[in-house]
């Protein structure tokens, strides 16, 4: 399919609300998180599916708009996933998809496993080691590392970033 790149495939349906497990090729993981639409090959045609939510639970689980039952999700199992070539950045070296991925979190609310609601991400600062989110917490501006080690779940549709922050980080 000209103009499109295979990035993985769908696996089994999960739950009763139309969620699907997906397996992605490693180089395209960041591109997948940065996009709003993927294409599935159905009946020899690529059809667009808009991403409603992505959840990381060991496997990646994706919810598509207008796919809201287990039955409709089961029809999409075992299908090849594609992105438009213009949306591929990490494998081609065009731009910084990591930067795009991190900047998408501006406006997200951080919830910590222990402390509950921390605050809304106001800005992202790219440091050499990692990206840091600037959040107001207890009337102070704090930096929170946007590390995969701390991020537990991303609820794109609700703009929530669930994290398990290191003890003491919010008390600095």
Looking at the structure, tell me whether residues 88 and 128 fall in a common domain. Answer: no
**66-105 confidence digits (pLDDT tens):** 898 899 989 999 999 998 888 877 544 443 334 435 667 8
Give residue 95's pLDDT. Answer: 38
Q: How many angstroms separate the CA atoms of 41 and 84, rounded? A: 13
Q: Does residue 100 belong to any structural domain of this protein?
A: no
Total domain count, the chain = 2
Report residues of the chain scoring pLDDT below 70. 1, 90-103, 172
Looking at the structure, tell me whether residues 8 and 81 fall in a common domain. Answer: yes
Looking at the structure, tell me whether residues 8 and 87 fall in a common domain. Answer: yes
CATH number at residue 161: 2.30.30.240
CATH number at residue 38: 2.40.30.60
Whether the CB-CB separation of 106 and 122 falls below 8 Å is answered with yes
Torsion (CA) 151, 155, 159, 165 in degrees, nearest 10: -20
The two three-digit tokens of residue 59, written as one number: 């496997």
Give residue 90's pLDDT. Answer: 52
Residue 128 domain boundaries: 105-171
Looking at the structure, tell me whether residues 67 and 133 fall in a common domain. Answer: no
Looking at the structure, tell me whether residues 88 and 13 fall in a common domain. Answer: yes
- Which ranges of the chain would DSSP assign to H, the alpha helix? 29-34, 70-74, 97-103
């Amino acid at each position: 399919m000209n103009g499109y790149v295979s990035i993985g495939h769908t696996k089994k349906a999960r739950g009763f609300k139309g969620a699907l497990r997906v397996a992605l090729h490693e180089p395209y993981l960041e591109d997948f998180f940065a996009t709003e639409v993927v294409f599935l090959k159905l009946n020899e045609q690529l059809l667009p599916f808009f991403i409603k939510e992505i959840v990381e639970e060991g496997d990646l689980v994706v919810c598509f708009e207008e796919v809201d039952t287990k039955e409709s999700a089961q029809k999409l199992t075992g299908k090849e996933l594609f992105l438009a070539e213009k949306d591929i950045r990490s494998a081609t070296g065009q731009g910084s998809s990591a930067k795009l991925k991190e900047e998408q979190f501006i406006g997200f609310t951080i919830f910590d496993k222990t402390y509950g609601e921390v605050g809304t991400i106001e800005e992202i600062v790219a440091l050499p080691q990692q990206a840091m989110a600037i959040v107001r917490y207890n009337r102070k501006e704090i930096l929170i590392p946007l590390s995969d080690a701390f991020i537990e779940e991303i609820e794109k549709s609700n703009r929530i970033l669930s994290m398990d922050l290191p003890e003491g980080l919010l008390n600095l």
